[in-house]
Amino acid sequence: MSETDSDKKPPLDYQLQYQNLLLGNRLPNLRKKWDPLIPCRKDRYLTPEQLKQLVAKSPRILKILDEMSENDKGKKKKLALIVREMLDEIGLARSLPVIRWLGICIQSTIKKICTGVYVNEASIENVKKKIGTNPVLYLPSHRSYADFILMSYLCFTYDLEIPGIAAGMDFHGMVGMGNMLRKTGAFFMRRTFATDKLYWYVFKEYMHALVTAYHTGIEFFIEGTRSRSCKALPPKIGLLSMALEPLFMGEVPDITIVPVSISYDRPLEEQLFVYELLGVPKPKESTMGLIKSVLTIEDRYGSMFFDFGAPISVKEYFGDSLNRFQHALEPAHVQNLTKNELGMIYDLAYDVVSCQQRRIVVNCFNIIAIYYTYRMYMDLEMTFDQLCDGVLILSEFFRRHGATVAVDASRIRDVVKESLRIHCNILKLDKDDRVILEKPRISLREVNRLKFKAHALTEETMKNTVPIFYLQIYINPCLFWCSSKAIVILCAQHLTRKGEKRASVAKLREKVSELRLIFSNEFVFYTVNDEKDFAKDVELLKNYNVLSDEDAQGELSYHESQIDGFYLTTIAPFLCCYLQITHVIDTKFSTGSFSEKELLIATQEFVEEALMSHKKYIHPYCLSLDSLNIALNSLNNLGGVSKNKNSDLTVYSANRTSIRDTHRLLLDYCQLLPFNYLIDYVVSSKL
> pLDDT tens digit string along 481-520?
999 999 999 999 999 876 666 888 999 999 999 999 999 9
- Residue from 603, 558, 595, 600 nearest 579 by CA: 603
Question: Of 70 and 206, which is predicted with more confidence?
Answer: 206
- The span from the CA of 10 to the CA of 8, in Å, is 7
Average pLDDT, integer, range 543-551: 85
Residue 647 has pLDDT above 80, yes or no: no
Q: What is the pLDDT of residue 649?
A: 85
Length of the chain: 687
- Residue from 318, 309, 251 nearest 127 by CA: 309
- Residue from 388, 389, 399 nearest 17 by CA: 399
Quick check: 654 and 585 in contact, CB under 8 A?
Answer: yes
Quick check: 655 and 641 in contact, CB under 8 A?
Answer: yes
DSSP lists the bridge partners of residue 20 as 118
Q: What is the pLDDT of residue 287?
A: 56
Burial degree of 29 (CB within 10 A; 0-12, 13-18, 19+): exposed
Local confidence band at 552 (pLDDT 50, 70, 90 cut-offs) = low
Residue 182 has pLDDT above 60, yes or no: yes
Local confidence band at 460 (pLDDT 50, 70, 90 cut-offs) = confident
Residue 288 has pLDDT above 50, yes or no: yes
Q: State pLDDT tens for residues 573-585.
A: 999 999 999 999 9
Quick check: 573 and 231 in contact, CB under 8 A?
Answer: no
Local confidence band at 291 (pLDDT 50, 70, 90 cut-offs) = low
Q: What is the pLDDT of residue 378?
A: 87
Instruction: Give one word for 200, left, alpha or beta, with left for phi > 0 and alpha for psi -120 to 50.
Output: alpha
Quick check: 94 and 48 in contact, CB under 8 A?
Answer: yes
Residue 570 has pLDDT above 80, yes or no: yes
Q: Between the CA of residue 122 and those of 17, 19, 127, 235, 310, what are the distances in Å?
A: 8, 10, 9, 27, 10
Q: Which residues of 537-552 are buried (b: 16+ CB within 10 A; e: fewer)?
A: bbebbeebebbeebee
Local confidence band at 533 (pLDDT 50, 70, 90 cut-offs) = very high
Residues of the chain above pLDDT 70, percent? 92
Q: What is the pLDDT of residue 500?
A: 66
Residue 360 has pLDDT above 90, yes or no: yes
Q: What is the pLDDT of residue 684?
A: 40
Burial degree of 414 (CB within 10 A; 0-12, 13-18, 19+): exposed
Residue 139 has pLDDT above 90, yes or no: yes
Q: What is the pLDDT of residue 496?
A: 87
DSSP lists the bridge partners of residue 404 as 361
- The span from the CA of 46 to the CA of 214, in Å, is 6
Average pLDDT, integer, range 618-642: 96
Residues of the chain above pLDDT 90, percent? 72
- The span from the CA of 644 to the CA of 652, in Å, is 6
Direct distance between the N- and C-terminal alpha carbons of the chain, in angstroms, rounded to an integer:
47
pTM of structure: 0.93
Residue 682 has pLDDT above 50, yes or no: no
Q: Between the CA of residue 405 and those of 231, 519, 605, 644, 656, what are the distances in Å?
A: 17, 26, 39, 46, 45
In sequence order, the 6+-apart residues with CB closer than 8 A to the CB of 78 are: none
Residue 62 has pLDDT above 50, yes or no: yes
Q: What is the pLDDT of residue 4?
A: 42
Q: What is the pLDDT of residue 13?
A: 54
Q: What is the mean pLDDT of the chain?
A: 90
Among 91-95, 142-146, 446-450, the least confident range: 446-450
Quick check: 619 and 679 in contact, CB under 8 A?
Answer: yes
Q: What is the pLDDT of residue 683?
A: 42
Quick one: the chain helix, strand, coil %, rounded to 5? 55, 10, 35
Among 8-22, 394-408, 543-557, the least confident range: 8-22
Q: What is the pLDDT of residue 1?
A: 45
The β-bridge relationship of strands 547-548 and 555-558 is antiparallel
